[in-house]
Structure 1
Amino acid sequence: MAKTALIEHRPWLLASVVASIAYYLLSDNPFGTPFPAFGGVWLILLKGAGVALLAAYALRRAHCLDGKILALVLALSAAADMALEIEFAIGGALFAASHAVAIILYLRNRREQLTGSQLALAAALLIATPAISYLLSERVEVAAYAVTLGLMAAAAWTSRFPRYRVGIGAVLFVVSDWLIFSDMGRFDLGILPALLVWPLYYGGQLMIATGVVQTLRGEPVAE
């Protein structure tokens, strides 16, 4: 990447990572909060900032239509992150909208040729995501939301974007949601959800954002 690009665009990624780490350390997690007075609306805004800054990165780095679609996906996710702290159903609806837009992005960028194993894994994501979500949560509405989540993950895996970046990022998103759903049902995973949900979710979004942007810009990216 050129020096000017580093100066102009990498700070968006750095700021996103810093905001994400700060939210994790300041929020209610197994490590505790070093600044107990920090909370309320400021913590909600900090939570949304992590992925919102990824949306800004996408807009700055990929000026094509697909880049704008990616930015919309990330912006909706950032809004969902904040809404979850206020009303869970609204946050879920915003995430479903984000998945729907992501599906459009991935279908616009379908991989021309797929192997049998790639198709099999996409089918497994499509079926297992809502099925496991229902088993964990025991809620029909959660399973309905997870249909969009599974479609998103399957579409990401079969897109032309790098599977080891975008595909795995989508799978991390699915796993983070499974950990959330486990708290709704009879499965007690102890501190694992509190410990892992945010790192898996944000890590997945970071991998998706950087993988899609680098592909759209024609930059070298690992498959």
Structure 2
Amino acid sequence: MKRAIIESRPYLLLSLLFGISYFFVNDSNIPGVFLMLWKSSAVGFLAVYALRRAHNLDGMLIAAVMAFGALGDMLIEFDLMAGAGAFIVGHCIAIGLYWRHRRAKTSFSQKTLAILLVPVTIFIGWSLPFSREEAPGIAIYSLFLAVMAAMAWTSSFPRYRVGVGALLFVISDLFIFSRMGFLAHSAIPDWTIWPLYYVGQFLIVIGVVRTLRKEMAVPNP
């Protein structure tokens, strides 16, 4: 037990170090390549944490989700669509993971939120950019994003970690799209995008990994 904590905690601490500090340095004069690596390291270390703590297929899946998130964090600095492509791959892997861990029974309100989340997210994403040429691409990306969040919300993983984390991810991305529209000259996206995104990813990986470890500790009947 002590060895497991010693082996895993440094990766969470490193993730927190890079994740929190990036918020304060992202507008600094640090050379772009170093800043890009700084940014991707925050979620990258969450991928390492997942690999070290959950030694099964689902552990590899959540690690892959985080790895593609870190890749997306890097690519988005060069091209928004390239970054979106990496995130879409991560969303698809997450959808598969959450499908494997579907909640046996969900309440009416939980089902309603999951169902409404998809069309509402797509519509908001589509409506945000002033340039209507960008709207279809954003709508397509929003579809994968929203389905991922809906599946997270109705999965058997802790809703107030994994489900909420996925919703924070959705809100963060919508703020990114708002930069193309009515918040183009606002400081609100600058203050909200990274904290919402990083906290969301952190909650997701913690909730998934801890659940997987509890399942692994239960002996087969």
What is the TM-score with the length of structure 2 in the denominator?
0.92
2: CA distance, partners of 1:54 / 1:72: 10
Equivalent residues of 2:149, 2:166 under 8 A apart: yes
Given residue 103 of structure 1, which amino acid in structure 2 is its aligned partner?
I
Q: Does structure 2 conserve the Cα–Cα contact (< 8 Å) formed by 1:23 and 1:47? A: yes
What is residue 109 of structure 2 aligned with on the other side? 117
**What does 1:195-206 correspond to in 2, within 5 Å?**
195-206=191-202
SS in 2 for 1:99: helix
Cross-structure match for 1:97:
89
For structure 2, which runs of at least 5 residues remain unmatched after alignment?
216-221
CA displacement 1:80-111 (0-9 Å, x = unmatched): 00000011111011111110111000001100
* Unaligned segments of structure 1, at least 5 residues: none
**Segments of 4+ moved more than 3 angstroms:** 186-189
8 A contact 1:19–1:47 mirrored in 2: yes
Trace 1:58-207 onto structure 2 (pairs within 5 A): 58-137=50-129, 138=132, 139-187=135-183, 190-207=186-203
Q: Report the aligned-residue RMSD.
A: 1.3
Q: Is the 8 A contact 1:136 1:187 kept in 2?
A: no
Tell me which moved more, 95-104 or 132-141: 132-141
Task: Count residues with an aligned counterpart.
Answer: 211
1:13 corresponding residue in structure 2: 12
Identity %: 47
- Deviation (angstroms), 1:188: 5.1
Q: CA deviation at 1:196?
A: 0.8
Alpha-carbon distance in structure 2 between the residues aligned to 1:197 and 1:51: 14
Q: Find the counterpart in structure 2 of residue 218 from structure 1.
A: 214
Residue 26 (str. 1) matches residue 18 (str. 2): no
